[in-house]
Amino acid sequence: MDIVPYLWSNGGELMNADHTRATGYLDSKSNIEIIEALTEILKEGSDLEHEVLHTLVGQAKNNAVLSSTLLAIPNKTNMNISWELIRALTSDEMQNEFAGLGMIPANFNALESEAAANTDFALVIETLQTARALPNVTQWKEMNNEFSLAIKRIIEGYKTTEQSIKDLAIIWDALLP
């Protein structure tokens, strides 16, 4: 379960703005309360229906997390052609075409186009306006694994929510630059 959107939706943060400290942010009172509520739902064996989780979404509306996709360009001799392809695929014209086919556009101009407005993903487009990307830190994979372990410890009753998240913040501090 991805808990981060619920933290953000309730005004929580994972770390400071320059991504160098988690203590005082990740282990904030509001974050601990949300994590406790979510882990209680998981402990009860709930199927996490939308209606249950909806009550945990706060007023900030940052309840979406942007992901990323990497386009690998293996052959350096064709770099110019590769960049031309990327520019063409991400152009407003091509993205409007994609929207007309039911695909979510990859740029804001196309998101605001008539083709995108008349689709079933209009709600997704609206949500993207306040979506946040996960922290851009090289240690994120390890930090996320530690987060999962902390949640597991809470659910299995090895630690309280507060102690597990405070310990996690210290671990993250050690991982951050």
- How far apart are the C-alpha atoms of 135 and 23, rounded to whole Å? 15
Q: What is the pLDDT of residue 127?
A: 72
Mean pLDDT over each residue of the chain, to the nearest integer: 79
Averaged pLDDT, 37-47: 76
Q: Is 90 exposed, middle or buried (0-12, 13-18, 19+ CB in 10 A)?
A: middle
Q: What is the pLDDT of residue 79?
A: 65
List the single range of 3-12, 25-34, 80-89, 158-167 with lowest mean pLDDT: 80-89
Give pLDDT tens digits for 65-77: 444 444 444 556 6
List the single range of 4-18, 54-68, 146-160 with lowest mean pLDDT: 54-68
Return the domain boundaries, the chain.
4-64+132-175, 76-128
**Which CATH number describes the domain made up of 4-64+132-175?**
3.40.190.10
Q: Residue 61 pLDDT > 70, yes or no?
A: no
Q: Residue 152 pLDDT > 80, yes or no?
A: yes
List the single range of 111-120, 147-156, 165-174 with lowest mean pLDDT: 111-120
Alpha helices in 101-160 (DSSP H): 108-111, 114-117, 122-128, 140-155
List the single range of 39-43, 118-122, 131-135, 168-172 with lowest mean pLDDT: 118-122
Q: What is the pLDDT of residue 70?
A: 41
- How far apart are the C-alpha atoms of 95 and 163, rounded to whole Å? 47
Give pLDDT tens digits for 84-120: 777 787 888 888 887 777 777 777 788 778 777 777 7
